[in-house]
Amino acid sequence: MATPGAARSVSENEAWWKSAVVYQIYPRSFADSDNDGIGDLPGIVDQLDYLQELGIDVIWLSPVYRSPQQDNGYDVSDYQDVDPLFGTLEDLDRLIAAVHVRGMRLIMDLVVNHTSDQHPWFLASRASREAPTSDWYFWRDARPGTVAGEAGSEPNNWGASFGGSAWEWVPERGQYYLHLFAPSQPDLNWDNPDTREAIFAMMNWWLDRGIDGFRMDVINFISKDPEMPDGPLNRDGYGDGMPYFSYGPKIHAYLAEMKRRVFDPRPDTYLTVGEMPGVTPEQAREFTDREHGQLAMVFQYEHVFLDADGDKWTQRRMSINDLRDTLAKWQTALGDSGWNSLYWNNHDQPRVISRYGNDTTYWRESATALATVLHLHRGTPYVYQGEEIGMTNAPFAALDDFRDIESLDYYAKAVGTHLEEPSDVLDTLRRRSRDNSRTPMQWSAVPGAGFTTGSPWIGVNPNHSWLNVAAQRGTPGSIYEYYRALIALRHRLPVVVDGNFVAVHTGRDQIYAFRRHLGNTTLTVHANLSDLPVSFDRDDLTARDLVLTNYTPSRSGPGRLEPWEVRVHVL
Ligand code: TEU
């Protein structure tokens, strides 16, 4: 076995992740080497040349730990083993080594806000108040004056992300436990020092194994207000606990302790990215501050909620003004002392091209335009598998086609409790379901899309007949080749990594324009984020300093942008 990390210099104090491009793999849907219908680790090893050719620097692996798979691995029952669905620990060692041999890096998903209800820590905790892990979860008595175990007697009114109350009654203990997500995902009690100790030991074990960092699942939720007060009611009659756990009193203390116990003692630099629903720019700046912050970067949610009204299921039209203002706001807020992560897609989001782009008439143009503005921002860009070939939302025909716990729960509530029309609810799921991003990677036009020759765990998008890697790899003008060029630009031009950000006002609503400055170099991006051509008053966009465009350069004049046209100039 090659020594993990052999291809890297030993001590890198530089924040290498600033010039890196990360590629997220959702292992279940990426490549299935044994044709059981579920992607696996050997399948990923087979595709490393592909990722290297694309130019990516880091792989983020969604969870492959042992898990009952209620939430596709975001419910971990053993943090130090690989689920047999995906392979073995040895397969993972081989993957880490093969990634390092190519000069790339690998980060793992760290899911420590909660475990699976099948984790031995929880099994013992629920069985007895005397167990060593008795207090590793949030156990509470029934609300005073109520009959324990009956509806309405939960300790507070918080609702869970995946349905119902956030509290589950356990007769053996005569208490409720807290689960912010599904009942099968009990929240870990970070206020207990032993819990934290066990988590830090586990993280150290993984870093010793040679991985290069962590993507930390809902890490801003780990500190809960000990009072756990009721929250404002939503339409399901449950309270919103976000004000009491999304930025809890000890969040900075716990992340600082993690940094001290896990990362600081090591000579290497690690990529740490905290997923933080609800995080504000000010908080993000604190978390990522070069001097005092605890993480390299965070995933904020603001720009992926612009087409949602209140909750994610209620659609509203996203305005280009809002999008531009939000993106520019985060660029500016984390400009000097923090660092941004840049993403359009992940395994929780419908495909951006079907939301903010145009996945029919301007499929290629909008995919490349959205990619351009994202990648030329200041921050570390993330590519979610299939984004680099313009994968779209899927035409799910019926409820049976969905797999996601959140989607199925939403359907049950909307149809069962709120008596909504099943066809309307299916329409909502088609637009909003997380399964849109989870259909198999489209490698080729053959049945199974080259993902599997077996029966895939979730249907392959029929558009794989024309939308696939084989059709685009090496094809001039393809989305894939455009992503390669874009990633290469970041690697070639320091201004893309280090340049500051200045928004440019063109007086045209459809256009998002900005500059990046570094020393004497200025990079300028003009993007038409709409289906309509637009003219504007600029005479400095000459062909001379044009370094990238998604249209044939000579086609339009200096003061006109075609639908979804982008132009990148460097002077
Ligand atoms: O997601 C965090 C989260 O808040 C999700 O509820 C997200 O907002 C939602 O899926 C959007 O529809 C993380 C993981 O990324 C997700 O896959 C897990 O299901 C969740 O945590 C629980 O671990």
Whether 536 has a pLDDT exceeding 60, the answer reads: yes
Q: Which of 75, 218, 219, 384 to mutate to test the pocket of ligand 1 (most atoms within 8 A of CB)?
A: 218
Residue 539 has what pLDDT?
57
Whether 172 has a pLDDT exceeding 90, the answer reads: yes
Q: Are 302 and 269 part of one and the same domain?
A: yes
Whether 19 has a pLDDT exceeding 70, the answer reads: yes
How many angstroms is it from 273 CA to the middle of ligand 1? 15
Residue 541 has what pLDDT?
66
Write the Ramachandran bin of 5: left for phi over 0, alpha for psi from -120 to 50, otherwise beta. Answer: left
174 band by pLDDT with thresholds 50, 70 and 90: very high
User: CB–CB of 488/66 below 8 Å?
Assistant: no
Q: Are 558 and 476 part of one and the same domain?
A: no
Residue 555 has what pLDDT?
58
Domain annotation covers residue 140:
no
Whether 157 has a pLDDT exceeding 50, the answer reads: yes
Per-residue pLDDT, averaged over 483-511, amounts to 96
Phi, psi of 547 (to 5 degrees): -105, -20
**CB 84: neighbour CB atoms within 10 A?**
9
Residue 1 has what pLDDT?
31
Per-residue pLDDT, averaged over 10-17, amounts to 65
Tens digits of per-residue pLDDT, 337-391? 899 999 999 999 999 999 999 999 999 999 999 999 999 999 999 999 999 999 9
- What is the Cβ-side half-sphere exposure of residue 50, based on CA atoms within 13 angstroms? 21
Cα separation of 23 and 6, whole Å?
21
* Low-confidence winner among 84-93, 120-129, 181-190, 546-555 (lowest mean pLDDT): 546-555
Residue 554 has what pLDDT?
63
Q: Are 238 and 302 part of one and the same domain?
A: yes
How many angstroms is it from 219 CA to the middle of ligand 1? 11
Active site (annotated) includes residue 168:
no
How many angstroms is it from 348 CA to the middle of ligand 1? 6
Whether 256 has a pLDDT exceeding 50, the answer reads: yes
How many angstroms is it from 67 CA to the middle of ligand 1? 16
What is the domain-level CATH number for residue 263?
3.20.20.80
**CB 413: neighbour CB atoms within 10 A?**
17
What is the domain-level CATH number for residue 520?
2.60.40.1180
Q: Are 508 and 384 part of one and the same domain?
A: no
Tell me how many domains the chain contains: 2
Please list every protein residue whose CB sits less than 6 Å from any atom of ligand 1.
71, 74, 111, 161, 181, 217-218, 275, 277, 312, 347-348, 406, 434
Question: Which ligand 1 atom sits closest to the C-alpha of 312?
Answer: 12
Per-residue pLDDT, averaged over 417-443, amounts to 97
Q: Look at ligand 1, atom 14, and give the residue with the nearest C-alpha.
A: 217
Residue 336 has what pLDDT?
82
* Low-confidence winner among 13-27, 187-201, 441-455, 547-561 (lowest mean pLDDT): 547-561
Tens digits of per-residue pLDDT, 459-482? 999 999 999 999 999 999 999 999
Domain annotation covers residue 45:
yes
Whole-number average pLDDT of the chain: 95
Q: Are 207 and 288 part of one and the same domain?
A: yes
Question: Which ligand 1 atom sits closest to the C-alpha of 405?
Answer: 19
* 144: Cβ contacts below 8 Å, ≥ 6 apart: none
Last residue of one domain, picked from the residues 452, 482, 512: 482
- Spot the catalytic one: 217, 387, 404, 435: 217
Whether 82 has a pLDDT exceeding 60, the answer reads: yes
Domain annotation covers residue 83:
yes
5 band by pLDDT with thresholds 50, 70 and 90: very low
Q: Are 466 and 556 part of one and the same domain?
A: no
Residue 557 has what pLDDT?
62
Judged on CB neighbours under 10 Å (0-12, 13-18, 19+), 316 is exposed
Per-residue pLDDT, averaged over 262-266, amounts to 97
Q: Are 298 and 372 part of one and the same domain?
A: yes
Tens digits of per-residue pLDDT, 33-45? 999 999 999 999 9
11 band by pLDDT with thresholds 50, 70 and 90: very low
Residue 4 has what pLDDT?
41
Q: Are 478 and 504 part of one and the same domain?
A: no
Residue 14 has what pLDDT?
74
How many angstroms is it from 246 CA to the middle of ligand 1? 13
Q: Is the dihedral of CA 246, 247, 250, 251 positive or negative?
A: positive
Residue whose C-alpha is closest to residue 548's, from 530, 528, 523: 523
Domain annotation covers residue 128:
no
Per-residue pLDDT, averaged over 424-442, amounts to 98
Cα separation of 342 and 329, whole Å?
13
CA distances for 564 relative to 396, 407, 510, 539, angstroms: 27, 32, 9, 20
Q: Look at ligand 1, atom 5, and give the residue with the nearest C-alpha.
A: 348
Domain annotation covers residue 162:
no
Domain annotation covers residue 410:
no
Question: Which ligand 1 atom sits closest to the C-alpha of 277?
Answer: 4
Q: Which two tokens stand for residue 390?
A: 């313009």
Active site (annotated) includes residue 217:
yes
Per-residue pLDDT, averaged over 229-250, amounts to 95
Domain that includes residue 529, residue range:
499-570
Question: Which ligand 1 atom sits closest to the C-alpha of 347?
Answer: 17
Q: Are 470 and 566 part of one and the same domain?
A: no
Cα separation of 238 and 232, whole Å?
8
Q: Look at ligand 1, atom 11, and give the residue with the nearest C-alpha.
A: 348
Phi, psi of 126 (to 5 degrees): -75, -20
Enclosing H/E stretch for 384:
strand 380-384
Residue 167 has what pLDDT?
98
Domain annotation covers residue 451:
no
Which residue in the block uniquely carries the two structure tokens 């020092």? Answer: 193
For the chain, percent of residues with pLDDT exceeding 90: 91
Q: Are 471 and 546 part of one and the same domain?
A: no
How many angstroms is it from 381 CA to the middle of ligand 1? 20
Q: Are 466 and 527 part of one and the same domain?
A: no
* 413: Cβ contacts below 8 Å, ≥ 6 apart: 163, 236
Q: Are 74 and 223 part of one and the same domain?
A: yes
Cα separation of 378 and 381, whole Å?
9
User: CB–CB of 471/479 below 8 Å?
Assistant: no
Last residue of one domain, picked from the residues 482, 515, 534: 482
Per-residue pLDDT, averaged over 5-21, amounts to 65
User: CB–CB of 21/380 below 8 Å?
Assistant: yes
Domain annotation covers residue 347:
yes
Residue 553 has what pLDDT?
73
Per-residue pLDDT, averaged over 534-549, amounts to 79
Question: Which ligand 1 atom sits closest to the C-alpha of 301?
Answer: 8
Judged on CB neighbours under 10 Å (0-12, 13-18, 19+), 544 is exposed
Higher pLDDT pick, 510 / 554 = 510
**In 3-state terms, what secondary structure has residue 570?**
strand
Q: Which of 215, 217, 407 to mutate to test the pocket of ligand 1 (most atoms within 8 A of CB)?
A: 217
**In 3-state terms, what secondary structure has residue 319?**
coil
Question: Which ligand 1 atom sits closest to the C-alpha of 113?
Answer: 23
How many angstroms is it from 115 CA to the middle of ligand 1? 14
